[in-house]
Structure 1
Amino acid sequence: MFRLPIPTANYCNSNFGSKKHQCLFLLNLCVSFKHLSQIHAQIQVSGLHRDPFLLTQLIRFCALSPSKNFNYARTLLDHSEAPPPSSWNFLIRGYASSDSPREAIWAFRAMLGRGIIPNKLTFPFLLKSCAMVPALKEGRQVHVDVVKLGLDCDVYVQNNLVHFYGACKKIKDALRVFDEMSDRTVVSWNAVLTACVYNLRLNDGIEYFVKMRDCGFEPDETTMVVVLNASSELGNLSLGRWVHSYVIVRGLLLNCQFGTALVDMYAKSGALGYARLVFDRMEERNVWTWSAMILGLAQHGSANEALELFPKMLNSSIRPNYVTFLGVLCACSHAGLVDDGYRYFHDMEHVYGITPMMIHYGAMADILGRSGRLNEAYNFMKSMPFEPDPIVCRTLLSACSTHGVNDEQGVGNKVRDKLLELEPSRSGNFVMVANFFAETGMWDKAANLRKVMKEKRMKKRAGESSVELGGSIHKFFSGHDSQSDHEDIYRILDILRLHMKLVDM
């Protein structure tokens, strides 16, 4: 049985002048819920159960310590006559970092029901919980309460409002809250940058980053990670390199999070040499670091190197996740390793306990399709535990166009019908099917399908390409001159063409 420590005479004269101080001292030493229940018993016996500060410390332990016990915390609050706001704040904060963030909303409503007025420390973690759920309706009501209490100018509350709206994909609301802030911190800028990147408003995110620098704020590691994510999605290698050089000049540490973002950025941009250089220099790597490197190698022509990296990851005691296996299956597809693909797909679920997702089934179908095993790929697609999505169908139809000579079972026709059933109005599917007809010699069917597209006024989205120049991304669309100076571009192209002819002469 746990025995409460007996204070010495010196402690009795100073720190233990009262039972309350003894209980507070014991609460600071508490390491388990068993100990807490005994301390609580001492509080009850001593007649201190009405003390609001002791109650708050009991709830703090129940909500925030490793020995979490939310039910006990709620019981304490239910049996307290006037629990202070701080006790409810600790409960809400505990739920925000738990697997049950929605319970924080319950705690807030119970708090209001008891007539307890929230303060500025109530709302940051409450909004964090609403963002995690996500609970847009409840979060908006919380925003109303924030305004009613006059806390809408508190920077910490506003930061979490920006984060909440961004997480709920209400980017306009997030930007409005941020733009109306009279006082901002680096955390404020990070919140709006994260909201922009999460909602794929990448150019807006870069613009806010430039404004952040113009306003005299120095970016921190979190800022750099968010900007790297934006540059990865934009394919802006120049921006990513600038971020890397900025971090080196500032002397910021290459921690695991930032190193992983660098590896991901270089890998997605096709700069595998830089990605591998950063990867090899990292002292600490997690599963996301390894996965980013493996997937990057697999997608950019280094399938064998990706497959060599996978066992090294396992030897370093890092357990793979669903992204790791996506990279491994992608590598098997590009390397034509069907048997290895089957083995990795099997190990994913039966060895590592990772349930395959649609994207993994699509990768396996791609492995079979690229190898010309069309009927096997079709049967694999039919055996999926869920309805195949259009992406899987398009992948297999593309393989049928390439390996039409192997399509003795008419897999292409079956996949074609399934694709048009899933997305009957997507113009790109009609173009793909028409091309399939043309490539397999069915010219009449191809012409009829294009005629149907014309009658229904279906247009395929224009092809798009982009060029990075001086840190800016210039997009070009098929059949459309988006550049105001396109005449100068064509004039330069004509000069280059003439120069090439002269060289050949």
Structure 2
Amino acid sequence: MRRLRIVMPITHHCLLPKSSYHGKGPNFSRKHQCLSLFSFISSMRQLLQIHSYLLTSGLLSSDKFLVSEILRFCSLHPSGDLSHARALLFRSSSAMSSSWNHVIRGLCLNSLWEEAVAVFLEMRRQGVTPNELTYPFVIKSCAEFSGVCIGRQVHADAIKNAVASVVYVGNTLMHLYGTCGENTDARRVFDGMSHRTVVSWNTILSVYVYSLMIGKALEILDEMMNNGCECDQTTYIALLSASALMGSLALGRWVHCQIIYRREEVNLKLGTALVNMYAKCGSLDLAVVMFERMPEKNVWTWSAMILAFAQNGSAQASLDFFEQMNSSIKPNSVTFLGVLCACSHAGLIDTGFGFFHDMIHLHHIQPEMSHYSAMVDVLGRNGLLVEAYGFIKSMPVEPDAVVWRTLLGACQLHRTRDVRGIGETAKRNLLTLEPSRCGNYVMVANIYSDNGSWKEAAKVRSIMKEEGMKKIAGESCIEVSGSNHRFFSGDDSCTNSDRIFQLLDWLHFHMKKHDVVGSKDYVQSQ
């Protein structure tokens, strides 16, 4: 105990009197003093000294609360050691559910999702019953790593232990099913909740928004407001994302008005969501106004503006924003994706390669598949198909379907007959990687038709028919005077369809006159 006095002099008043060291077995006073001692520990060195004393005194083997305190420190303290926590947990015969919870939570906080699930499975193997504090972290780990199969088993276990109806367990279950694309199951969990908080409403709202089921999301919003649940910042951010995805400026403005009316603080996240909404809805002027009003901006705020101008054809403005940002804030992978998109649209090939090089060697950002695809687009969009194919062959990773689809799209765009087999190579790799995606076959058939290869086009369509593939009708949405109008390919039921087709005919005539687009594009769109 002298070592404890030296290392932790501030705890001398908590140390046990010498007379108690030689008592026969632990008593309440000694346990209480040891538990008090944990509040003064600030390092693993001190914790290990306490641990050593508890082992030699016999206190640890008989007191599960002391075990729990050691595991709490090792798992959750900034100076803790998760490997020590796991080793102690698996060796302990007196660990209660809170001890397991500490370790599982610590693993989750460090994004060690697989290990967290493994600890939970070991917990069940040892016959320890989880409680309502165990499941949220395990379910989150399933959402991040294990997937829906193990997640369903954890859900069943929560039902068996009568905690699935606890609100924060239900919230994480909805997040799990939403992340895995199981929206029906997420809604079933939501409908089965006897008590819902604003987090519950926000979770199911976000599930629908990020699944592009905007109509369902708006239904949830109506139901939420009818139930007297007030929106918070998370609600507004989800709704602004829905507005951006729909291109609905009216909805976005309504959300903005609600934020102003309720005097909601426009912090960094909410401000960035507003900037992104106005930009995605094509209202770049309002996006700039919101951007300039923000007292603080982070990399996501700047990236939203860079992407907005790039996607709206204002490449130079996008690059100007990047230069301003680069002087004060370090760009991330999303920033460079926007910059490469701007270079692609503006035909800035050398500039695009310069940014790609700087991203890797100056900013030390490892390219993702989206960056490689963007570089293929930089070359392919500008007619450099051979160079684009060469770039793909030089990639240090295997290209995915998006990369090959980008190259194939470039072949289609430039109306060239196959150059050195590039189109055929792109087609072959694309259909190998995504053999069941109908859109790929449609693209290939259209390319054959454009080049007059009618037999090959017929073969592709025959394969589609044999495999039972059906092209999903194209859909577009436009907002006019506050009303959203939806259009589907082949649907002429719109009351103004005659006028719309007349205008399309006029546009097609002038586009063809200026050699902007071939005749089959219009026929296929019909």
TM class by smaller structure: 0.7 to 0.9
Pairing 1:293–2:293 present: no
1:107 to 119, 142, 146: 119
Runs (4+) of structure 1 exceeding 6 A deviation are 8-13, 453-460, 491-496
1:243 to 249, 252, 255: 255
- Alignment correspondent of 1:311: 323
Contact 2:14 2:36 in 1 (8 A): no
Give the CA deviation at 1:246: 1.0
- Alignment correspondent of 1:137: 149
**SS of aligned partner of 2:7:** coil
> CA 1:114 to 1:453, structure 2 compared with 1: closer, same or farther past 3 Å?
closer
> CA 1:377 to 1:245, structure 2 compared with 1: closer, same or farther past 3 Å?
same
> CA 1:370 to 1:167, structure 2 compared with 1: closer, same or farther past 3 Å?
closer
- Alignment correspondent of 2:70: 58
Query: How is 1:38-437 mapped onto 2 (pairs within 5 angstroms)?
Result: 38-44=49-55, 47-49=58-60, 50-318=62-330, 320-389=331-400, 391-393=402-404, 395-396=406-407, 399=410, 412=419, 414-421=421-428, 422-423=430-431, 426-434=440-448, 436-437=450-451
Contact 2:208 2:217 in 1 (8 A): yes
State the alpha-carbon separation in 1 of the partners of residues 406 and 83 from structure 2. Answer: 51
**SS of aligned partner of 1:292:** helix
- Alignment correspondent of 1:24: 35
Q: TM-score, normalised by structure 1?
A: 0.84
* Cα deviation digits, residues 17-61 of structure 1 (max 9, x gap): 944444334322322222221232343455432332222221111
> CA 1:67 to 1:297, structure 2 compared with 1: closer, same or farther past 3 Å?
same
Give the CA deviation at 1:208: 1.0
* Cα deviation digits, residues 204-249 of structure 1 (max 9, x gap): 1221122111111001111111222222222222112211221121
State the alpha-carbon separation in 1 of the partners of residues 211 and 292 from structure 2. Answer: 32
Give the CA deviation at 1:471: 4.9
Give the CA deviation at 1:116: 2.2
> CA 1:252 to 1:29, structure 2 compared with 1: closer, same or farther past 3 Å?
farther
State the alpha-carbon separation in 2 of the partners of residues 495 and 72 from structure 1. Answer: 74
State the alpha-carbon separation in 1 of the partners of residues 248 and 144 from structure 2. Answer: 30
State the alpha-carbon separation in 1 of the partners of residues 99 and 195 from structure 2. Answer: 29
Q: TM-score, normalised by structure 2?
A: 0.81
State the alpha-carbon separation in 2 of the partners of residues 6 and 494 from structure 1. Answer: 84
State the alpha-carbon separation in 1 of the partners of residues 380 and 14 from structure 2. Answer: 80
Aligned residues: 478
> CA 1:120 to 1:472, structure 2 compared with 1: closer, same or farther past 3 Å?
farther
State the alpha-carbon separation in 1 of the partners of residues 13 and 339 from structure 2. Answer: 67
State the alpha-carbon separation in 2 of the partners of residues 169 and 99 from structure 1. Answer: 21
State the alpha-carbon separation in 1 of the partners of residues 310 and 192 from structure 2. Answer: 45
Q: Which amino acid aligns with 2:102?
A: F
- Alignment correspondent of 2:8: 4
**SS of aligned partner of 2:45:** helix
Give the CA deviation at 1:288: 2.1
Q: Which amino acid aligns with 2:116?
A: A
- Alignment correspondent of 2:23: none
Contact 2:248 2:479 in 1 (8 A): yes
Contact 1:374 1:411 in 2 (8 A): no
Q: Which amino acid aligns with 2:132?
A: K
State the alpha-carbon separation in 2 of the partners of residues 45 and 454 from structure 1. Answer: 78
Contact 2:441 2:464 in 1 (8 A): no
- Alignment correspondent of 1:499: none
State the alpha-carbon separation in 1 of the partners of residues 129 and 224 from structure 2. Answer: 35
State the alpha-carbon separation in 1 of the partners of residues 324 and 392 from structure 2. Answer: 31
Give the CA deviation at 1:450: 5.4
Kindly, what percent of the aligned residue pairs are identical? 46
**SS of aligned partner of 1:184:** coil
Contact 1:95 1:129 in 2 (8 A): no
Q: Which amino acid aligns with 2:208?
A: C
Contact 1:467 1:473 in 2 (8 A): yes
State the alpha-carbon separation in 2 of the partners of residues 455 and 106 from structure 1. Answer: 48
- Alignment correspondent of 1:468: 479
State the alpha-carbon separation in 1 of the partners of residues 473 and 257 from structure 2. Answer: 37
State the alpha-carbon separation in 1 of the partners of residues 461 and 141 from structure 2. Answer: 50
**SS of aligned partner of 1:475:** strand
Q: Which amino acid aligns with 2:90?
A: D
Q: Which amino acid aligns with 1:4?
A: M
**SS of aligned partner of 1:133:** helix
> CA 1:388 to 1:20, structure 2 compared with 1: closer, same or farther past 3 Å?
closer
> CA 1:366 to 1:117, structure 2 compared with 1: closer, same or farther past 3 Å?
closer
Q: Which amino acid aligns with 1:249?
A: Y
Give the CA deviation at 1:322: 1.8
> CA 1:113 to 1:241, structure 2 compared with 1: closer, same or farther past 3 Å?
same
* Cα deviation digits, residues 231-288 of structure 1 (max 9, x gap): 2222222112211221121111212222222222222222212222222222333322
Is 386-395 or 339-348 further displaced after alignment?
A: 386-395
Contact 1:197 1:205 in 2 (8 A): yes
Unaligned runs of 5+ in 1: 438-444, 497-505
Is 284-293 or 446-455 further displaced after alignment?
A: 446-455
Q: Output the aligned Cα RMSD.
A: 3.3
Q: Which amino acid aligns with 2:325?
A: M
> CA 1:296 to 1:20, structure 2 compared with 1: closer, same or farther past 3 Å?
same
Give the CA deviation at 1:384: 2.8
Is 112-121 or 420-429 further displaced after alignment?
A: 420-429
Contact 2:63 2:94 in 1 (8 A): no
State the alpha-carbon separation in 1 of the partners of residues 371 and 67 from structure 2. Answer: 51
